[in-house]
Structure 1
Amino acid sequence: MSTAVMEQPGQSGTAEPTTSGMITVTFRIRRFNPEVSADASWEDFTLEIDSKDRVLDALHRIKWEQDGTLTFRRSCAHGICGSDAMRINGRNRLACKTLIKDISPEKPITVEAIKGLTVLKDLVVDMEPFFQAYRDVMPFLVTSGNEPTRERFQSDEDRARFDDTTKCILCAACTSSCPIYWNDGQYFGPAAIVNAHRFIFDSRDEAGEQRLEILNDKDGVWRCRTTFNCTDACPRGIEVTKAIQEVKRALITRRF
């Protein structure tokens, strides 16, 4: 059963073990429905669940068994699609990769939408500004000449140069953890810069200078204040801050 509450997260609670090896956990979810109220509120849901289950499993249980109006995104449920990024206990995480036992289930587990993007309903945000920034950095290979009749060869060393930034799944966990992005949605954000990095340092690409000029804008790479929030938030382990610094260095030296 669910109980609507107006308190802020952080109140104490308990995760009680049961005879079946399950635990009783309270999930405190920030709800928002613009058709009902202009204000968001916190709502508690208590359920018995295996501590080795994921937060996504708990959200499914809540939606299927307690409140069908609960709204969130998810797709593959295996940490590949990036759909279910949300703030769990105050940190950006993928709900499908976060085990309940790893996030202090003895207290209420808070779940809310990621910051910096307009909340549409409950845990769903408007991703269009995020994807527009991604599109703006030209996230595709640019070459000249005739279309090749076979693949473009690349050495292992050249491929390794941008290997880390190929891992991005566009979940927005890094961008929505950035305090600069929270205060100014015009900033390209870490994810867009990471995806620009992936092509700037690709030896087969010919549009590196063009991408660098795009990121040299007042809302580009220089807005980064190197807080490392983005690196900490990335569920794929990408060294986001390092990639941003490499783009800055390329802008100064024009070597990439």
Structure 2
Amino acid sequence: MSTAVLEGQPTAPAEVPSFTATLIIRRYDPEVDAEPYWQDFDVTMHGTDRVLDALHKIKWEQDGSLSFRRSCAHGVCGSDAMRINGRNRLACKTLLKDLDLSKPIYVEAIKGLPLEKDLIVDMDPFFESYKSIQPFLIASSKPEKERIQSVAQRARFDETTKCILCAACTSSCPVFWTDGQYFGPAAIVNAHRFIFDSRDEGAQVRLDILNDKEGVWRCRTTFNCTDACPRGIEVTKAIAEVKAAIIRGKA
């Protein structure tokens, strides 16, 4: 009987090559540790794996006490923001193969927010700043149908609707690290989303809130926030547009 492969017959998938990645994770358990410390793990991974996959493998196979947040694993929920090799990223969007695997991968919690455990920080201060800019539509009218916008009107604020509140931009800001009262880039971005929305009537309220020493004027334009945003939002540009609106006295 012939062993030749018949034309059109599916073949077995090629074996995906694997490699060993070393992750050095900054650990902290407030119940037993006086200070955070670094711990290294070696894991066997594949080219399509992400940092989140490596963290899962460590937690499930090596150390079940490793703590981190994650949910959708597709760059939408924003819950797995962390510092990877010194840069704020989403673990679910960072492919291991895009990192220098000849060196260890350093993973730690984002900065500027209180550390709770391992890679988990207290997000309450971040969300308090977000809530303070009134991130919702303010309108007195009650139309029977949808509020119509032109393409140009929608485009005016379209980019800042992409924010997923991951805090990657805010926790990459040196001003935020040193000044706990600063609103931070994410809050200003979400204010921008409503300030320039033609359907909204609360622009001046938000401009007054941000026209403060802890508001937009605390920004030092370092561009860290823009570089950190996993959604590609030009955060520094949005902050500059809010500054300009304050100077003009209107959106």
| Interval containing the TM-score (normalised by the shorter chain) | over 0.9
Matched residue, 2:208: 213
Alignment root-mean-square deviation, CA: 1.0
**Which string of whole-angstrom CA distances, capped at 9 and with x for unpartnered residues, describes residues 93-140 of structure 1?**
000000001111111000000000001000000000000000000000
Question: Which residue in 2 is equivalent to 1:31?
Answer: 27
Task: Please state how far the C-alpha of 1:52 moved relative to its aligned partner.
Answer: 2.3
Q: What displacement does 1:83 show?
A: 0.3
**Residue type at the aligned position of 1:65:** E
Counterpart of 2:249 in structure 1 is 254
Q: CA deviation at 1:31?
A: 0.1
The equivalent residue for 2:137 is 141
Q: Which residue pairs with 2:10 in the alignment? A: none
Cα distance in structure 1, aligned partners of 2:112 and 2:87: 14
Write the letter of the residue equivalent to 1:89.
N
Give the letter aligned to residue 66 of structure 2: L
Partners of 1:224 and 1:110 lie apart in 2 by: 28
**1:224 correspondence with 2:235:** no
Report the 3-state secondary structure (helix = DSSP H, G, I; strand = E; otherwise coil) of the residue aligned with 1:49: strand
What is the correspondence of 1:1-256 to structure 2 with a 5 Å cutoff?
Answer: 21-145=17-141, 147-256=142-251
Task: Give the secondary structure class of the aligned counterpart of 1:96.
Answer: helix
1:14 aligns with none
Contact 2:84 2:106 in 1 (8 A): yes
Aligned-partner Cα distance in 2 for 1:88–1:103: 10
Structure 2 match to 1:10: none
Instruction: Specify every segment of 5 or more residues in structure 1 that has no aligned partner in the other structure, as ranges.
Output: 1-18
Contact 2:204 2:250 in 1 (8 A): no
- Name which of structure 1's ranges 183-192 and 46-55 shifts more when overlaid on structure 2: 46-55
Secondary structure in structure 2 of the residue aligned to 1:75: coil
The letter for the 2-side match of 1:44 is D
Alpha-carbon distance in structure 2 between the residues aligned to 1:38 and 1:245: 41
Aligned residues: 237
Kindly name which structure, 1 or 2, has the bigger radius of gyration based on alpha carbons.
2
TM-score between the two structures when normalised by the length of structure 1: 0.91
Deviations 1:160-185 (A, max 9, x none): 00001000000000000000000011
Pairwise CA distance, 1:20: 6.2
Runs of 4+ in 1 over 3 A off after TM superposition: none
